[in-house]
Each structure stands twice: as structure tokens, then as C-alpha cells.
């Protein structure tokens, strides 16, 4: 990977950082815990509560927010090509260490996730979020065709009426279980 830093001591600012920085760059690096070359450099500002990615404003309100790992990548390596993801080798979404970041397509990112065991891609009962068996789906179909409302079927199985409709109409579970 081109542009890998060679950091031998704990720096206050990576040596490859330009001396003149824009205001958002100054704010970004004030909030990143820069460490050793192999360590994660977590963003210590606001991180998205469920996804974990660092986020910060790019200036005025109309300039919006930027994800800090993408901003760090652009800082060290330049503009990110349209449609490309900035992926983490370390799988730490708040990490801004340029040695941990690489470009990839969405498909590359999903393959990396699956290879590392973070996304199973499992279908039916093999999926850890699985709740309704194939037999129960068939029972739901029979109940609805016999005249029971989707609301009543949903109450019986502990799901929403919308989910019952999707199951009964075949919009989920095309692969079976």
C-alpha cells in the first residue's frame, strides 16, 4: 500500500502532515489520538451511536458532515474516487490511522466483512436474526387464506402485520429455510 507512514516514536503530529492545514483538518487532528504505526488512532469526538464512525462538521452548516476515516484518508492520500469506500483493515470504525485504511468498492468491503466473519450472509434458519420457521410461514399462509386477519396472525406469532404480509406474499424467504 503506497503512502505507509514509518513512525518510530509516538508523534504529536505525523511527519507527513503538511504544516498548513485547513480549519477542518486542524479540528480533525486535534480529536484523533495519534499513536504508534500499528495502533488504531481513534477519533475522540462524536461517533455515530450505532455504526461507530467518527463524524464532524466540515465548516458551515451547508457543507455538512464528514466521516472522519474518509477525511483522514483524503488528508494523506488525496481525493477518494467516486463510488469507492474507505475500508478499515482493523475493523475499528473510529480509526483514522492511514496505515489501517484502504480503498475498495462496496463489493470489496462486503467481501472483507464476510471474510472476517462480521457478516454471515446466512439465509433462513442459518441467519442469527431468524425468528419464523418455514413451517410457521406455511401456517400463516393457511390462516390468512382461511380468513384470519394479518393483525390477528401477527399477534399470534409476535411479529408485525406488515411482516406477515411479506411472508404470505413471498416477498421474504424466497430461498426457503
- Domain range annotation of the chain: 23-115, 124-168
- Give the pLDDT score at 112: 86
Contact yes or no for 28/56 (Cβ under 8 A): yes
Kindly tell me if the per-residue pLDDT of 137 is higher than 60.
Answer: yes
Going by pLDDT thresholds of 50, 70 and 90, the confidence category of residue 129 is low
Mean pLDDT across 152-159: 87
Percent of the chain whose predicted confidence (pLDDT) is above 70: 77
Percent of the chain whose predicted confidence (pLDDT) is above 90: 41
Kindly tell me if the per-residue pLDDT of 19 is higher than 60.
Answer: no
The mean pLDDT value of the chain amounts to 81
Residue 154 backbone zone (phi > 0: left; psi -120 to 50: alpha; other: beta):
alpha
Please provide the size of the chain in residues.
Answer: 177
Rounded to 5 degrees, what are φ and ψ at 147?
110, -5
User: Which residues are paired to 56 by β-bridges?
Assistant: 66
Going by pLDDT thresholds of 50, 70 and 90, the confidence category of residue 118 is confident
Kindly tell me if the per-residue pLDDT of 127 is higher than 70.
Answer: no
User: Which residues are paired to 104 by β-bridges?
Assistant: 85
C-alpha cell of residue 52: 461507530
What's the Cα-to-Cα distance from 143 to each of 125, 131, 138, 139, rounded to whole Å? 22, 18, 9, 6
**Packing angle, helices 134-145 and 150-157, rounded to 10:** 150
Going by pLDDT thresholds of 50, 70 and 90, the confidence category of residue 7 is very low
Class of residue 29 by CB neighbours under 10 A (exposed 0-12, middle 13-18, buried 19+)? buried
- Give the pLDDT score at 125: 58
- Give the pLDDT score at 14: 54
- Give the pLDDT score at 105: 94
2.160.20, 3.90.75, 3.30.1450, 3.30.1330: CATH of 23-115: 3.90.75
Kindly tell me if the per-residue pLDDT of 65 is higher than 50.
Answer: yes
Mean pLDDT across 145-150: 93
Amino acid at each position: 500500500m503506497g503512502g505507509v507512514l514509518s513512525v518510530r516514536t509516538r508523534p504529536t503530529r505525523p511527519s507527513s502532515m503538511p504544516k498548513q492545514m485547513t480549519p477542518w483538518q486542524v479540528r480533525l487532528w486535534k480529536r484523533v489520538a495519534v499513536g504508534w504505526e500499528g495502533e488504531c488512532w481513534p477519533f475522540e469526538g462524536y461517533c455515530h451511536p450505532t455504526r461507530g464512525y467518527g463524524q464532524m462538521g466540515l465548516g458551515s452548516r451547508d457543507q455538512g458532515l464528514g466521516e472522519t476515516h474518509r477525511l483522514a484518508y483524503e488528508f494523506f492520500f488525496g481525493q477518494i474516487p467516486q463510488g469507492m469506500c474507505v475500508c478499515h483493515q482493523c475493523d475499528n470504525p473510529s480509526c483514522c490511522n492511514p496505515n489501517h485504511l484502504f480503498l475498495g468498492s462496496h463489493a470489496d468491503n462486503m467481501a472483507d466483512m464476510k471474510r472476517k466473519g462480521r457478516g454471515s450472509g446466512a439465509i433462513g434458519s442459518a441467519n442469527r436474526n431468524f425468528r419464523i420457521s418455514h413451517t410457521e410461514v406455511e401456517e400463516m399462509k393457511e390462516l390468512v387464506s382461511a380468513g384470519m386477519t394479518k393483525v390477528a396472525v401477527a399477534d399470534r406469532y409476535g411479529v408485525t402485520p406488515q411482516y406477515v404480509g411479506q411472508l404470505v406474499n413471498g416477498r421474504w424467504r424466497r430461498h426457503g429455510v
